[in-house]
Amino acid sequence: MENNEWYLKMIAWRDQHIKQQQFILILSLLIGVFASIAAFLLKSTIHFIQQLLTENFSRVNVNYWYLVFPAIGILIASLFVRYIVKDDISHGVTRILYAISQRKSILKLHNIWTSLVGSSITIGFGGSVGAEAPIVLTGSAIGSNLGNFFKLDQKTLLLLVGCGAAGAIGGIFKAPIAGLVFTLEVLMLDMTLTSIVPILIASVTATAMSYVFSGESFLFKFTLQESFSVERIPLLILLGIVCGLVSLYFIRGMNWIEKLFRKVKNPFVKLAIGGVTLSILIFFFPPLYGEGYETISELLNGDTVTVLERSFFLNMGDSPWIIVIYLTLIVGFKIFASAATNGAGGVGGIFAPSLFVGCLTGFIVARIINIFGMSVPEENFALAGMSGLMSGVMHAPLTGIFLIAELTGGYNLFMTLIIVSTVSYITIKLFEPHSLYAMRLAQKGELITHHKDKAVLTLLKMENVIETDLSILTPDMTLGELVKIISRSKRNIFPVVHHESNVFMGVLLLDEVRNIMFRPELYNRFTVRKLMISPPAVLNEELSMEKVMEIFEDTGAWNLPVVDNQKRYVGYVSKSKIFSSYRHVLVHFSDE
């Protein structure tokens, strides 16, 4: 397309007639429209498949189809990913963070539609994951590819990726403020006020379109029974701590189970293990089927009888502990169901599972408090639990607060949501510095963050700071040959490599030979092997820039050699080159 005359003329016309800021606003509106359409298509497809498969299920008897449908869905989704997509589309938000940190905010074109197909099949057939991460990946891909189509710079692409994510959240949840704060908190975009306006436009546009598509109702029906009470603050703090600890279990448990699945190399063995695990869990605990939003709605409206329907716990008596035990088991097994879904090849996110587990956690805490004689509104605690888990799992307290308020219309419970979310966030930060989304990249040093120094270092790449203009020596060279090379060189550092394998052996510094280089009688007596020394450290070309700077600080060096995995010499890196590149990147991304 880049060679098409009409395309080049269109790009040139846009450059001449539409200012950059105005064009970004136009694109943000379009992104909001497209993201909302994508969200509507995804939700509609999921509900269509679920209704088609489960509309004849008995509400009082055990349904053995629960043993079959989830495994079929994962099979179809995994075959779709393996043979049609041929790319990793799992962990949608992590893929966005990776694109921002490592791929100059460029997302592949197929991400616009492949996540929609994969997740609708996975969740429609009962996969115990959420549709939000796939739709966020879709929205961000729309923004990235629109910007790429119009040849916009990396900084603008980053902004449009944020617009797509905000539009996706706004479109799927009818939550425009949550869309904005999700982009700032979870995607960790360090935006200025000028940059926030396009994100707001995308989020509000997508939300407005969502109202057009599906009416004015909230995702969860919630009727406020009791407003915030100061006397309950200690209990809300307790709930926040519990949510933080459950978030820790959620994050570490999901990571541990996913690592077990990654150790299984055969995809069909993965599918068998994951499919069987998921089907058995859903058979015994039907609320694990799909996103779990139906169960959330039932608990928010005090309908515990319906939650127990279709389970073996239905006829176990009238003890108030029955529902507590049942829901606690579901909380414990939810991570197994979600990890099995994704680990076996399904496509989905942890957005909905965190809301689901949060609602159950809040309800359980409230029910236990009530059993012991105190009186608290279980529906309010369930709502606050959703906010607390989202805050803990995603490290996003503002997103948790505003999303839950906007999802339910529970604006009168802002204080409740704020207390629980804040305490949960403080609790999880004591144990985990990164969210479930970000920790995979953080472990590899590939995560861009709000910390400006670390963010800029993340954007710097080793290949961009390696210097290759140094004169290379071999160990058998004489001092006389060395003097000739020094006379032609503009540097005072000379790497020494093996003449055949190019393996790095050491370094020769001009200062080390300055006192003998003008004595011809020594030219044949000394060789480079005798004169070279070992550098303070040797860098691998695959190291992150943050790790490189740590080594520079630890060694006190100003120049260090770089080698590949076979110890072959690649070049040299200097502190001054890194600082120069650092300033260039910082100016580029800070300029408004």
Over residues 207-224, the pLDDT tens digits come to 999 999 888 777 777 776
Condensed to tens digits (0 to 9), the pLDDT of residues 31-58 reads 999 999 999 999 999 999 988 887 776 5
Would you say residue 322 has pLDDT above 80?
yes
Q: Which of 152-161, 270-279, 359-368, 438-447 has the lowest mean pLDDT?
A: 438-447
* Beta carbons of 504 and 561 less than 8 angstroms apart: yes
Condensed to tens digits (0 to 9), the pLDDT of residues 119-146 reads 999 999 988 898 888 999 999 999 999 9
- Ramachandran angles phi, psi of 559, nearest 5°: -140, 135
pLDDT at res. 53? 85
Cα separation, 381 vs 255, in Å, equals 27
pLDDT at res. 190? 59
Residue 592: pLDDT band with limits 50, 70, 90: very low
Would you say residue 19 has pLDDT above 60?
yes
Q: What is the DSSP letter of 282?
A: H
Tokens of 215: 């009416």
Cα separations (Å) of 206 from 16, 25, 34, 157, 186?
A: 29, 14, 8, 19, 19
Comparing 451 with 287, which gets the higher pLDDT?
287
Comparing 411 with 519, which gets the higher pLDDT?
519
For strands 539-540 and 559-563, give the pairing: parallel
* Domains in the chain: ranges and CATH: 5-214 (1.10.3080.10), 230-451 (1.10.3080.10), 455-590 (3.10.580.10)
Query: Average pLDDT over the chain, rounded to whole?
Result: 85
Tokens of 408: 């339910």
pLDDT at res. 253? 92
* Beta carbons of 510 and 534 less than 8 angstroms apart: no
Condensed to tens digits (0 to 9), the pLDDT of residues 409-455 reads 767 788 999 999 999 999 999 998 877 776 666 555 555 544 445 55
**Residue 290 backbone class (left: φ over 0; alpha: ψ -120 to 50; beta: rest):** left
Sequence-distant (6+) residues with CB within 8 A of 97 are 187, 188, 437, 438, 441, 447, 448
Would you say residue 576 has pLDDT above 60?
yes
**Residue 489 backbone class (left: φ over 0; alpha: ψ -120 to 50; beta: rest):** beta
* Class of residue 78 by CB neighbours under 10 A (exposed 0-12, middle 13-18, buried 19+): buried
pLDDT at res. 317? 59
Condensed to tens digits (0 to 9), the pLDDT of residues 144-158 reads 999 989 888 878 888
Cα separations (Å) of 51 from 60, 288, 294, 393, 404?
A: 18, 16, 13, 30, 26
* Beta carbons of 358 and 385 less than 8 angstroms apart: yes
Location of structure tokens 């935006």: 191
Q: How many helices (H) and strands (E) does the chain have?
A: 26, 5
